[in-house]
Amino acid sequence: MKRIVSTTEAPAAVGPYSQAIRVGQLVFTAGQIPLDPQSGQIVPGDISDQTRRVLDNLAAVLKAENLTFSHIVKTTIFLMDMADFQAVNEVYASYFSDLPPARSTVQVAGLPKGARVEIECIAVSDQTPAGGQLSVDVGE
């Protein structure tokens, strides 16, 4: 029922976790930091540059499941400094111009490799993956 999602178009996991997990029509991504997929290093530049790289990494993970930003229903943004919120928000808005997902943003004490921003998401596919369907019973 649980399937690992992996792509070389996004940075490899830097620990014992998967880039994403698919369960039925749901895809849960690991948090992406602004690593260049080829070099494995933090991209140079300001918080806007780092945010673009993070979102491009998320796009690559989603693409591995034939999903786009329109499939995202929830994101969580982790910032080292809440003073970066406005700049991150401006870049983020350019990726979610239509029907933006629910979102939480929190300031954290530290991120891997000295990153200033990390973003994770949950996406919902309109396709049932090969090999089965998801049945959910919602009790009252």
CATH code, domain carrying 42: 3.30.1330.40
Q: Is residue 110 part of a domain?
A: yes
CB 74 within 8 A of CB 89: no
Q: Is residue 140 part of a domain?
A: no
Helices (H), the chain: 47-63, 85-95
Q: Is residue 42 part of a domain?
A: yes
d(CA 19, CA 123): 13
User: Residue 60: its pLDDT value, please?
Assistant: 98
Q: Is residue 137 part of a domain?
A: no
Q: Is residue 98 part of a domain?
A: yes
Amino acid identity, residue 51? T
Which residues fall within 8 angstroms of residue 140, CB to CB, at 6 or more apart?
none
pLDDT tens figures, 19-37: 999 999 999 999 999 999 9
In the chain, which ranges are E strands? 2-5, 20-23, 26-29, 72-79, 102-107, 117-124
Place 97 in a pLDDT band, splitting at 50, 70 and 90.
confident
Query: What domain range includes position 51?
Result: 2-124
Q: What mean pLDDT is reported for the chain?
A: 92
Place 133 in a pLDDT band, splitting at 50, 70 and 90.
very low
User: Residue 129: its pLDDT value, please?
Assistant: 59
- Tally of domains in the chain: 1
Q: Is residue 79 part of a domain?
A: yes
Place 128 in a pLDDT band, splitting at 50, 70 and 90.
low
Q: Is residue 138 part of a domain?
A: no
